């Protein structure tokens, strides 16, 4: 179990770096993972840029987004996004919240997302919009209160992602790799959709086409091929997460090794003075 958990934590760190390396995340945004052995827990990094996330940065939370143990690190303020979705959707194993630039024209104009090519179907047809202002009035647009996260989870419903007015996107997956695939290819679709709108009218895949195309990542070798491709690109960029040899300390930063002088006891110092 320890090795499996270690591998899962490393995969989550790699996922954060891949989604950043592919231009979906920048200094902000985050990818989480439901605990593989405990559905009432999830892992999310401490507050840092996704491209830098390491396994030791991961904090274990309950579904109320409370750390299981004192993390000794600053936490993401929007962690309730993850906890409330895991609470509402038992089928979800991974969540990503991002502010990809290609989505911003759609979010600023309340334009509906539609799949304009086959891989874009992973985002669904016209996923729901969530307008935080309608329920909570003026805010700084961050989702920081449990009731805000619960509202977002209700808007998501059974959809694969939810659009957030003038803010970003939250997407889910049945695995970490599935979530990464959805984030990257829905972002590509949003880019193509915006470009196409600049040329003229845009039409969506049909419902049947979208339903069949949305299964490409789970019914073919597409997910494996894509993950290998992103993995190699991450390695070439010099950003691959090093392999670790021991189970990390669940969100706590490693303690500094005491200096040789600090390890000496007061008694030893006293004896030397004599």
Rounded to whole angstroms, the Cα distance separating 38 from 227 reads 25
122 with 181: CB under 8 angstroms? yes
End-to-end CA distance of the chain: 53
Structure tokens, 202: 């845009």
CB 41 within 8 A of CB 65: no
Q: Which two tokens stand for residue 22?
A: 């592919």
Q: Which neighbouring-strand residues pair with 2?
A: none
H or E segment to which residue 161 belongs: strand 161-164
Given the residues 11, 22, 54, 78, select the one marked as catalytic.
78
User: How many whole angstroms separate alpha carbon 122 and alpha carbon 254?
Assistant: 39
Residue that has been written with the tokens 């904090």 in this structure: 59
CB burial of residue 24 (10 Å; 0-12, 13-18, 19+) = buried
147 assigned to active site: no
Annotated active-site positions, please? Answer: 78
């Amino acid at each position: 179990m320890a090795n499996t958990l270690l591998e899962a934590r490393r995969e989550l760190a790699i996922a954060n770096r891949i989604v950043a390396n592919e231009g979906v995340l920048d200094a902000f945004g985050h990818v989480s993972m439901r605990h593989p052995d405990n559905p009432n827990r999830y892992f999310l990094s401490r507050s840092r840029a996704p491209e830098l996330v390491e396994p030791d940065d991961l904090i274990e939370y309950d579904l109320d987004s409370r750390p299981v143990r004192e993390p000794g690190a600053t936490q993401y303020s929007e962690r309730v996004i993850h906890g409330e979705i895991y609470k509402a959707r038992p089928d979800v194993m991974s969540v990503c919240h991002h502010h990809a630039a290609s989505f911003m024209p759609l979010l600023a104009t309340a334009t509906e997302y539609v799949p304009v090519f086959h891989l874009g179907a992973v985002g669904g047809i016209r996923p729901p919009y969530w307008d935080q202002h309608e329920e909570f009035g003026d805010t700084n647009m961050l989702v920081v209160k449990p009731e805000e996260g619960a509202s977002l989870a209700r808007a998501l419903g059974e959809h694969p992602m939810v659009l957030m007015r003038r803010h970003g996107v939250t997407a889910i997956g049945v695995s970490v790799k599935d979530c990464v695939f959805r984030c990257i290819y829905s972002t590509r679709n949003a880019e193509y959709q915006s470009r196409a709108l600049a040329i003229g009218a845009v039409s969506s895949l049909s419902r049947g086409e979208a339903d069949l195309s949305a299964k490409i990542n789970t019914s073919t070798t597409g997910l494996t091929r894509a993950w290998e491709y992103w993995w190699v690109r991450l390695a070439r960029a010099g950003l691959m997460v090093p392999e670790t040899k021991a189970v990390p300390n669940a969100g706590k930063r490693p303690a500094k090794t005491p200096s040789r002088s600090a390890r000496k006891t007061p008694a030893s110092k006293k004896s030397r003075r004599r």
